Amino acid sequence: MAELKGSETEQNLKDAFAGESQANRRYLYFAAKADVEGHNDVAMVFRSTAEGETGHAHGHLEYLEETGDPATGKP
């Protein structure tokens, strides 16, 4: 297998991890807003979607394990 550290693929995985993490937080924010507005059914959909984004982010992290922390590169 080709070296991941320093590759374009590593950067793509880091970018994907960041995007999924941001999407998770955004969906949780929307869920909170929906709760405040009394749309509990909509809030549940946003929370479920946020959970899916968390799963995606974890998948990217699994690939990045060999290169260290996405932010610092440290183990």
Q: To which CATH superfamily is domain 9-65 assigned?
A: Ferritin, core subunit, four-helix bundle (1.20.1260.10)
Cα Rg, the chain, nearest whole Å: 16
pTM of the model: 0.86
**Whole-number Å distance between alpha carbons of 47 and 23:** 11
Residues 30-69: tens digit of each pLDDT: 999 999 999 999 999 999 999 999 999 999 999 999 898 8
Query: What residues does each domain of the chain span?
Result: 9-65
Query: Would you state the pLDDT for residue 1?
Result: 55
Residues 8-17: tens digit of each pLDDT: 999 999 999 9
Band of residue 71 on the pLDDT scale cut at 50, 70, 90: confident
> What is the average per-residue pLDDT within 14-33?
98
